[in-house]
Amino acid sequence: MVELDVQIPTTFDPFAEAKDSDAPGAKEYVHIRVQQRNGKKCLTTVQGLRKDFSYERILKDLKKEFCCNGNVVQDKVLGKIIQLQGDQRKNVSQFLVQAGIKQRAHQVEKKKKEKKKERRKSIFVSWWFKISKQAKYMVDLEDQLPSAYDPFAETKDSNAPGAKEYVHIRVQQRNGKKCLTTVQGLNKDYKYDKILKDIKKEFCCNGNVVQDKELGKIIQLQGDHRKNVSQFLVQAGIAKKGQIKIHGF
C-alpha cells in the first residue's frame, strides 16, 4: 500500500485549482477532495480521471470496496465527478494506484463466474431436455379432497387401487394462514434435488426434500402450490395427467 499526501482544499471553492487553466499541471492531476456537508457529515469528490474510463464501473468498485454510498455528477466545467459519502481520500488514492492490479483480478474472477454459469446452463438444459420431450401445453387438473385426518392414508394403504402408480400432491395446514405443499410418489430414477431446485426457481418459494421411512422421498414446499406443481410435472414430462392426484383440506 502506498501512502499519499493529502491536500486540503480551500473552504471557499474546492474546485478552484481545477477551474484555473493556468495552474501548473492542472489537467494532469486527479484531484481528491473532501467537502463539509453539515455537522460531522462530509463528502469526498474525485475529479480529473480520464474520459476513457467507465466512471460508473469505478464508482461501483469503490462503493463495494469501502462500503459507502456515492454517485457520478456531471459538471459543466469540470466534467464527470465521482462523489462518495464520508472522508475516503486516502482509501480512494490507494485504490486508484492499485487499480491496474484489481482490474486484472476482477477479469479473472468474472471469467470463472461465466464458466460456472455455462456449466450450470448445460447441465440444466440436458436434464430438462430428457424430461420435457412430451411437454407441450399447461394442463388444468381437478382438485380431489382427501380425509382431514391423515393426508397420507391412501398411500399407506397398500390395497388401495393404483396407490403406487400415482403422484400425490397435498396441502397441509401448519399454523394460522401458513400451509405446506407435499409431492410424493415420483419415480425414484429422478433427481429430487434437481426437481426441487427448478420448482423453487419457477414459483419463487422455499422448500426441501424429506426422507420418510414408509413413503420414501417427499418434496415439501412452502405455501399452496398444488396446481402449479401439477402443471409443472405434466409440462416437464415427469408425470402424466392421469397419474397425478391433487388433495386438499
Residue count of the chain, please give it: 249
C-alpha cell at 17: 485549482
Vertex 65, ends 60 and 71: CA angle to 5°? Answer: 35
Q: At what angle do helices 55-66 and 99-131 cross, to 10 degrees?
A: 90
For the chain, give every residue range classified as CATH 3.30.780.10.
Answer: 16-102, 153-246
pLDDT digits (tens, 9 = 90+) for 185-222: 998 888 899 999 999 988 889 999 999 888 889 999 99
According to CATH, the superfamily of the domain at 16-102 is: SUI1-like domain (3.30.780.10)
Which residues, other chains included, contact 144 with Cβ-Cβ below 8 Å and sequence gap of 6+?
245, 246, 247, 248
Beta bridge partners of 211: 217
Residue 111 one-letter amino acid:
K
Q: What is the DSSP string of 106-137?
A: HHHHHHHHHHHHHHHHHHHHHHHHHH-SS--S
Which residues, other chains included, contact 94 with Cβ-Cβ below 8 Å and sequence gap of 6+?
1, 2, 4
Beta bridge partners of 244: 167
Residue carrying the nine cell digits 460456472: 116
pLDDT digits (tens, 9 = 90+) for 119-144: 776 666 665 555 554 443 334 444 44
pLDDT digits (tens, 9 = 90+) for 161-188: 444 578 999 998 888 788 899 999 998 8
pLDDT digits (tens, 9 = 90+) for 33-72: 998 888 788 999 998 888 888 889 889 888 988 889 999 9
For residue 173, the SS3 value is: strand
The answer to whether the beta carbons of residues 65 and 105 sit under 8 Å apart is: no
Note the CATH architecture for domain 153-246: 2-Layer Sandwich (3.30)
